């Protein structure tokens, strides 16, 4: 069987970074030790480069079926491969909506044919994400490709509907992955954070209440139902406080933070560029600091990109009219490494945990980096500097404010079940 020996890696193993060798045989990790010599293996000398379990992103939009002009399973999973990911979970806001078995089965077939990383999907919570009627959660969950339930893109407005969904999810030992947005707090045309930039440029703002009020509502339901519950793309300091308190009470809750909310605030927005428009929006400096604190103390245990591709034409509209969302898979790690780790605001270990083991744990994915487990691993050169260029983006879309950003941490290899891609 084909053997590959990675020598002299800075390996993230058992939650710490150590100088180790890693031997892969076929699709399996055969050994992780200080020094391995294996005569018949192909040797790759890493010379101190970072080797870690490939990343796991539990919040991406692949746009297929229905919006293939923005992204497909093939192009979205390729951008994941180029970002060092082995596992991604797609959101249900496709067309048709991922709310029924027929659409899920169709997605399974597309994934089997086109995906180059392990690809899952959420089932919607409510039919058509309309918040009016629960999907058949039991039927949808029979498909192994379904990782949980989410109406991402919309908050579930009705308290009774959310309670019914959580009760059913609890009975099925599944998880509610919540996009929290209280629509009674939204003003028509709201496009960026209700802060100074919005005021100065006469744009309609999106307040913090629109997020944290619904998080507070949901956590109160969890207090009675005790179901597994995960908050998507946390952006406000109030949400971090609510989640921290809920975790301290022992509730089975978790939260994720996106790379753009960790790196940017509304002060970074330039020229009312719609590539700075996403939902939830880039918040204040105070919010960003709270997110980093939440990442560091484990309140926000997961980093997820909310990879949201749109066509160039859609993002050329005025910021008040352009769709929400930016792409994120390909450059998530280098951006966070450069603009949050190298600045001393968090540690490399915290980021690696939040991008691999922690998201797997939230979704109870049987994924680990251990002798005997599947060889899903990636290698980054932390010293190598590069600039994010539009022509290097492999997603079908290029809607990101990070083009032109210098980064450290260039991907060198991504191995999915023993299959090696070299960059």
Q: Indicate the residue among 75 and 235 with the shorter CB distance to Zn ion.
A: 235
**In whole angstroms, how close is the CB of 36 to Zn ion at the nearest point?**
43
The span from the CA of 73 to the CA of 191, in Å, is 28
Interaction of residue 30 with Zn ion, rule CB under 5 A:
no
Nearer to Zn ion, 232 or 253 (CB): 232
State phi, psi for 91 to the nearest 5 degrees.
-80, 165
Q: Which of 69, 90, 401 is nearest to 264 (CA)?
A: 401
The interface region with Zn ion, picked from 111-119, 178-186, 258-266, 414-422 by CB under 5 A, is 178-186
Instruction: Kindly state whether residue 353 participates in binding Zn ion, applying the rule CB under 5 A.
Output: no
Is position 151 an interface residue for Zn ion (rule: CB under 5 A)? no
**Rounded to an integer, what distance in angstroms lies between the CA atom of residue 288 and that of residue 262?**
6
- The label of the residue with tokens 């951006």 reads 335
Question: Which is nearer to Zn ion, 325 or 401 (by Cβ)?
Answer: 325
Stretch that binds Zn ion, among 49-57, 151-159, 193-201, 257-265 (CB under 5 A): 151-159
Binding span for Zn ion by CB under 5 A among 8-16, 175-183, 249-257, 356-364 = 175-183
218 scored as a contact of Zn ion (CB under 5 A): no
CB of 125 to Zn ion, least distance (A): 13
Of 179 and 374, the one with the shorter C-beta distance to Zn ion is: 179
Looking at 37-45, 63-71, 149-157, 223-231, which segment touches Zn ion (CB under 5 A)? Answer: 149-157
Is residue 260 within the footprint of Zn ion (CB under 5 A)? no
Q: Tell me whether residue 71 or residue 152 sits nearer to Zn ion (CB atom).
A: 152
Shortest CB 101 distance to Zn ion, Å: 24
Binding of Zn ion by 287 (CB under 5 A): no
In this structure, the chain runs to a length of 423
Point out which span in 41-49, 98-106, 179-187, 353-361 binds Zn ion (CB under 5 A). Answer: 179-187
Give CA–CA dist 122/42, Å, rounded: 39
CB of 153 to Zn ion, least distance (A): 6
3-state helix/strand/coil string of the chain = CCEEEEEEEEEEECCEEEEEEEEEECCEEEEEECCCCCCCCEEEECCCCEEEECEEEEEECCCCCCCCCCCCHHHHHHHHHHHCEEEEEECCCCCCCCCCHHHHHHHHHHHHHHCCCEEEEEECCEHHHCCCCECCHHHHHCCCCEEEECCCCCCCCCHHHHHHHHHHHHHCCCEEEECCCCHHHCCCCCCEECCHHHHHCCCCEECCHHHHHHHHHHHHHHHHHCCEEEECCCCCHHHHHHHHHHHHCCCCEEEEECHHHHHCCHHHCCCCCHHHCCCCCCCCHHHHHHHHHHHHCCCCCEECCCECCCCHHHHCCCCCCCCCCCCCCCCHHHHHHHHHHCCCCCCHHHHHHHHCHHHHHHCCCCCCCCCCCECCEEEEEEEEEEECCHHHCCCCCCCCCCCCCEEEEEEEEEEECCEEEEC
Task: Report, in Å, the least distance between residue 229 CB and Zn ion.
Answer: 15
Size of residue set near Zn ion by CB under 5 A: 3
Q: Which of 99, 152, 256, 353 binds Zn ion (CB under 5 A)?
A: 152
Minimum CB separation from Zn ion for residue 103, in Å?
19
Q: Does 307 bind Zn ion (CB under 5 A)?
A: no
Nearer to Zn ion, 324 or 405 (CB): 324
Which range in 227-235, 281-289, 322-330, 405-413 contacts Zn ion by CB under 5 A? 227-235
Rounded CA separation 402/387 (Å): 9
Give min distance, CB of 61 to Zn ion, in A: 9
Candidates 179, 193, 277, 412; binder of Zn ion (CB under 5 A) is 179
Residue 412 near Zn ion by CB under 5 A: no
Q: Which of 21, 57, 218, 306 is catalytic?
A: 306
C-beta nearest to Zn ion: residue: 179
CB of 179 to Zn ion, least distance (A): 4
Q: Is 306 among the catalytic positions?
A: yes
The residue (of 279 and 330) whose beta carbon lies closer to Zn ion is 279
Nearer Cβ to Zn ion (53/233): 233
8 A C-beta contact, residue 42 and residue 25: no
Please give the residue ranges that form the binding site for Zn ion (CB under 5 A). Answer: 152, 179, 232
Residues assigned a catalytic role: 306
């Amino acid at each position: 069987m084909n053997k590959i020996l990675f020598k002299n890696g800075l390996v993230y193993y058992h939650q710490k970074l150590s100088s180790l060798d890693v031997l892969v045989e076929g699709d399996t990790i055969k050994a992780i030790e200080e020094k391995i010599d294996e005569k018949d293996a192909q040797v790759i000398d890493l010379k101190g480069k970072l080797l870690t379990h490939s990343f796991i992103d539990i919040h991406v939009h692949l746009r297929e079926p229905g919006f293939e002009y923005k992204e497909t399973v093939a192009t979205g999973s390729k951008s994941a491969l180029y970002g060092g990911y082995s596992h991604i979970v797609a959101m249900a806001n496709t067309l048709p909506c991922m709310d029924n078995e027929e659409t899920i089965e169709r997605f399974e077939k597309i994934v089997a044919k086109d995906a180059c990383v392990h690809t899952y999907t959420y089932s919607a919570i409510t039919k058509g994400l309309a918040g009016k009627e629960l999907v058949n959660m039991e039927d949808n969950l029979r498909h192994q490709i379904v990782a949980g339930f989410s109406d991402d893109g919309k908050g579930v407005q009705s308290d009774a509907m959310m309670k019914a969904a959580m009760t059913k999810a609890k009975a099925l030992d599944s998880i509610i992955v919540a996009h929290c947005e209280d629509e009674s707090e939204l003003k028509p045309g709201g496009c960026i954070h209700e802060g100074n930039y919005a005021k100065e440029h006469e744009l309609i703002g999106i307040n913090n209440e629109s997020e944290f009020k619904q998080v507070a509502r949901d956590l109160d339901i969890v207090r009675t139902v005790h179901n597994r519950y995960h908050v998507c793309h946390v952006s406000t300091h109030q949400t971090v406080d609510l989640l921290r308190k809920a975790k301290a009470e022992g509730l089975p809750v978790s939260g994720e933070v996106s790379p753009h909310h960790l790196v940017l605030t509304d002060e970074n927005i330039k020229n009312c560029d719609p590539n700075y428009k996403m939902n939830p929006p880039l918040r204040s400096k105070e919010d960003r600091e709270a997110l980093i604190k939440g990442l560091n103390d484990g309140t926000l245990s997961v980093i997820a990109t909310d990879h949201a591709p749109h066509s160039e034409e859609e993002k050329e509209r005025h910021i008040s009219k352009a769709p929400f969302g930016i792409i994120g898979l390909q450059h998530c790690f280098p951006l966070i490494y450069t603009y949050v780790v190298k600045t001393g605001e968090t540690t490399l270990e915290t980021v690696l945990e939040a991008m691999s083991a922690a998201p797997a744990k939230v979704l109870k994915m049987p994924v680990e980096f251990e002798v005997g487990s599947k060889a899903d691993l990636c290698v980054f050169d932390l010293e190598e500097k590069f600039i994010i260029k539009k022509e290097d983006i492999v997603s079908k879309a290029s809607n990101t404010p990070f083009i032109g950003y210098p980064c450290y941490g260039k991907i060198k290899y991504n191995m999915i079940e023993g299959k090696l891609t070299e960059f």
